[in-house]
């Protein structure tokens, strides 16, 4: 499978871009995620490969970070972690946002 690139026009421009990176993986991920895998979100599309189950479970964080949400429980407002929903073969993601210039 190749990477996914989806672009749509219109809508409000996101003030941030978000990168989701695999920082830890244990067991055998059925999707094949490995440490270092990277997916990019810009508010208009997705660039990269990501497991559908992980994507669905993290979209609220990704969307919030794209549009400047501040989560009070984060030590760094620009970095969150997110666990894969597969508790038997967990993948841990880092969600990081960057201000769009």
Q: How many domains does the chain have?
A: 1
Q: What pLDDT, in 10s, does the model give residues 60-98?
A: 999 999 999 999 999 999 999 999 999 899 999 999 999
Q: Is 62 a domain residue?
A: yes
| Per-residue pLDDT at 4 | 45
Does some domain include residue 64? Answer: yes
Q: Is there a domain that residue 32 lies in?
A: yes
d(CA 28, CA 72): 33
The domain in which residue 45 lies consists of: 14-99
Q: What mean pLDDT value characterizes the chain? A: 90
pLDDT computed for residue 5 by the predictor: 46
Report yes or no on 95 lying in a domain: yes
| Residues contacting 23, CB < 8 A, separation 6+ | 35, 81, 92, 93, 94
Q: What is the mean pLDDT of residues 32-56?
A: 95
State percent of the chain over pLDDT 70.
89
Q: What is the pTM of this model?
A: 0.86
């Amino acid at each position: 499978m190749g990477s996914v690139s989806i672009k749509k026009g219109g809508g409000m421009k996101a003030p941030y871009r978000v990168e989701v990176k695999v920082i830890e993986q244990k067991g055998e991920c059925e999707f094949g995620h490995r440490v270092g895998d990277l997916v990019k979100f810009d508010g208009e599309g997705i660039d990269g490969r990501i497991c559908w189950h992980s994507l669905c479970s993290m979209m609220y964080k990704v969307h919030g970070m794209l549009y400047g949400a501040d989560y009070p429980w984060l030590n760094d407002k620009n970095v969150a972690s997110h666990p894969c929903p597969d508790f038997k073969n967990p993948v841990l993601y880092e969600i990081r946002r960057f201000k769009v210039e």
